[in-house]
C-alpha cells in the first residue's frame, strides 16, 4: 500500500487523528478517548545496569523518536490528545511523559521483567486506585486501574502485553511454549475479571493491550471467554447471565480494511485489541459501541511499503512496528 492510500485512510478518521491546528471545544461531559500503543522498546538514554540487553538510546535519536510519537498522540481527539493513554514496552515513567506530553498523571511500575519494559498509563481522568497484577509467567505484569468518570461512574482499565510469539522455523524447546504462556496469562486475567463481575455485573471494564494473538484466535474464545461484536451486529442478549467480555477486534478490522495493527510478511494481524464488559455496550453508565473502535493509521506511521516499522532516524515515518488503537466512550444519561 502506498502513502497516498494511507493518507486517504487518515481522512476517514478525522476525529481520531485531526491534523488541523484549530479544534472544536469538547462536550462538557465527554466523550472521552482511550488509546493503546505498543511503542516498541522505548528505553531512555541512561543505561540501567539492572536490565538486560542494550537499553541505552542515543539522546538525539530518542528526542526525535518521542517527538514523532507525541505528534501522533496529540492529534487524537481533535488535537487535545487521548484522555487515557496506555503504552506497552516503556522503560519508565519519564518515557510515558515524553510520549504523552503535559497535563497527565502517570501510572507506572517497573515490575520484575528483566528486560526493563512494562505497561503504563497517562491519564486525565482521576485515579481511584491502581495495581499491577502478576500472572507469574515472564515477569511482565498487567496494569489494573480504576478511574473516575464525571464523578458518577467508575471505569476499570486493564493494560497488558502478553508473551511474544516466536518464529516457529527457528524455535527451540525453550521458546516453543509461548502459546501456553499466553494462555496462562489470559486465564489469570479472566479469573480476575470474573471475580470483579461476580461482585458487580454492571461494572465498566475496558481491557486493552498487545495480546500477541490475532482477535480471531482461540485465546479470546477459549481462555478469555469473549464474544465478538462487529459493526452492524446485534447487541449481546441482556438476559444472558454469562457476563462475557465483548471482543472489538472485528470492529477494529472494519476500521482499517485489509490492514491490522502489525504486519509480518505477508500477513496483517490485529494483536493490539480492545475488550469491554457487556455493560458498556448495553447502554449502561458508560457507553460505547463497535463503531467507536478504530485503528489509528496515518501516513507518518507507515514506511514506504505501507507498513508500520521500527523507529529509524534515517527515515521520517518509522515510529513503531505497531499501530495504535482507540476507543471513544460516552458518559450515559
CB atoms within 10 A of CB 301: 25
pLDDT band, residue 259 (cuts 50/70/90): very high
Average pLDDT over residues 63-90: 95
User: Residue 23 falls within a domain, yes or no?
Assistant: no
pLDDT band, residue 114 (cuts 50/70/90): confident
Q: What is the mean pLDDT of the chain?
A: 86
User: Residue 325 falls within a domain, yes or no?
Assistant: yes
Statement: residue 172 has pLDDT above 50: no
Per-residue buried b or exposed e for 85-113, using 16+ beta carbons within 10 Å of the residue's own CB: bbbbbbbbbebbbbbbbeebebbbebbeb
The fraction of the chain above a pLDDT of 90, given in percent, is 72
User: Residue 98 falls within a domain, yes or no?
Assistant: yes
9 contacts 297 by C-beta, under 8 angstroms: yes
- Measured CA to CA, the distance from residue 51 to residue 68 in angstroms comes to 26
Average pLDDT over residues 215-237: 93
pLDDT band, residue 238 (cuts 50/70/90): low
What's the CATH code of the domain at 325?
3.60.10.10
Of the candidates 211, 156, 153, which has an alpha carbon nearest to the alpha carbon of residue 179? 211
CB atoms within 10 A of CB 59: 11
Statement: residue 70 has pLDDT above 90: yes
Average pLDDT over residues 142-160: 95
Task: Read off the pLDDT of residues 91-113 as tens digits, 9 standing for 90 and up.
Answer: 999 999 999 999 999 999 988 78
CA-CA-CA-CA torsion sign (7, 12, 17, 23) = positive
In terms of Cβ atoms closer than 10 Å to its own Cβ (0-12, 13-18, 19+), residue 221 is middle
- Measured CA to CA, the distance from residue 295 to residue 211 in angstroms comes to 15
Pairing status of strand 226-228 against strand 245-247: parallel
User: Residue 17 falls within a domain, yes or no?
Assistant: no
User: Residue 25 falls within a domain, yes or no?
Assistant: no
User: Residue 181 falls within a domain, yes or no?
Assistant: yes
User: What is the number of structural domains in the chain?
Assistant: 1
Pairing status of strand 32-42 against strand 84-90: parallel
pLDDT band, residue 276 (cuts 50/70/90): very high
Distance of CA 64 to the CA centre of its chain: 22
Range of the domain at 63: 3-12+32-331
User: Residue 88 falls within a domain, yes or no?
Assistant: yes
**What order of strands is seen across the sheet that includes strand 204-210?**
127-133, 142-149, 153-161, 204-210, 272-277, 245-247, 226-228
pLDDT band, residue 115 (cuts 50/70/90): confident
Q: What is the pLDDT of residue 46?
A: 86
- Measured CA to CA, the distance from residue 253 to residue 66 in angstroms comes to 27
User: Residue 107 falls within a domain, yes or no?
Assistant: yes
Amino acid at each position: 500500500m502506498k502513502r497516498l492510500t494511507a493518507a486517504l485512510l487518515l481522512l476517514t478518521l478525522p476525529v481520531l487523528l485531526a491534523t488541523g491546528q484549530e479544534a472544536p471545544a469538547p462536550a462538557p461531559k465527554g466523550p472521552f478517548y482511550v488509546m493503546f500503543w505498543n511503542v516498541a522498546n522505548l528505553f531512555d538514554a541512561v543505561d540501567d545496569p539492572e536490565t538486560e540487553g542494550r537499553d541505552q538510546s542515543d539522546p538525539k535519536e530518542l528526542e526525535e523518536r518521542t517527538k514523532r510519537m507525541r505528534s501522533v498522540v496529540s492529534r487524537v481527539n481533535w488535537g487535545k490528545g487521548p484522555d487515557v493513554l496506555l503504552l506497552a514496552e516503556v522503560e519508565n515513567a519519564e518515557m510515558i511523559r515524553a510520549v504523552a506530553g503535559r497535563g497527565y498523571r502517570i501510572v507506572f511500575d517497573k515490575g520484575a521483567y528483566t528486560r526493563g519494559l512494562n505497561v503504563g498509563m497517562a491519564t486525565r481522568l482521576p485515579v481511584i486506585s491502581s495495581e499491577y497484577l502478576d500472572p507469574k509467567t515472564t515477569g511482565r505484569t498487567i496494569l489494573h486501574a480504576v478511574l473516575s468518570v464525571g464523578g458518577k461512574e467508575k471505569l476499570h482499565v486493564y493494560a497488558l502485553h502478553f508473551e511474544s510469539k516466536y518464529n516457529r522455523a527457528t524455535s527451540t524447546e525453550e521458546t516453543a511454549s509461548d502459546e501456553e504462556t499466553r494462555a496462562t496469562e489470559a486465564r489469570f486475567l479472566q479469573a480476575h475479571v470474573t471475580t470483579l463481575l461476580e461482585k458487580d455485573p454492571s461494572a465498566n471494564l475496558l481491557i486493552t493491550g498487545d495480546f500477541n494473538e490475532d482477535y480471531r484466535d482461540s485465546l479470546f474464545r477459549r481462555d478469555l471467554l469473549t464474544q465478538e461484536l462487529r459493526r452492524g451486529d446485534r447487541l449481546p442478549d441482556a438476559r444472558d447471565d454469562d457476563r462475557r467480555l465483548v471482543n472489538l477486534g472485528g470492529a477494529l478490522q472494519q476500521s482499517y480494511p485489509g490492514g491490522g495493527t502489525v504486519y509480518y510478511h505477508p500477513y496483517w494481524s490485529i494483536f493490539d485489541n480492545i475488550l469491554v464488559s457487556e455493560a458498556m455496550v448495553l447502554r449502561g453508565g458508560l457507553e460505547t459501541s463497535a463503531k467507536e473502535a478504530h485503528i489509528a493509521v496515518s501516513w507518518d506511521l507507515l514506511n514506504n511499503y505501507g507498513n508500520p516499522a521500527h523507529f529509524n532516524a534515517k527515515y521520517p515515518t518509522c515510529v513503531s512496528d505497531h499501530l495504535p488503537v482507540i476507543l471513544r466512550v460516552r458518559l450515559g444519561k
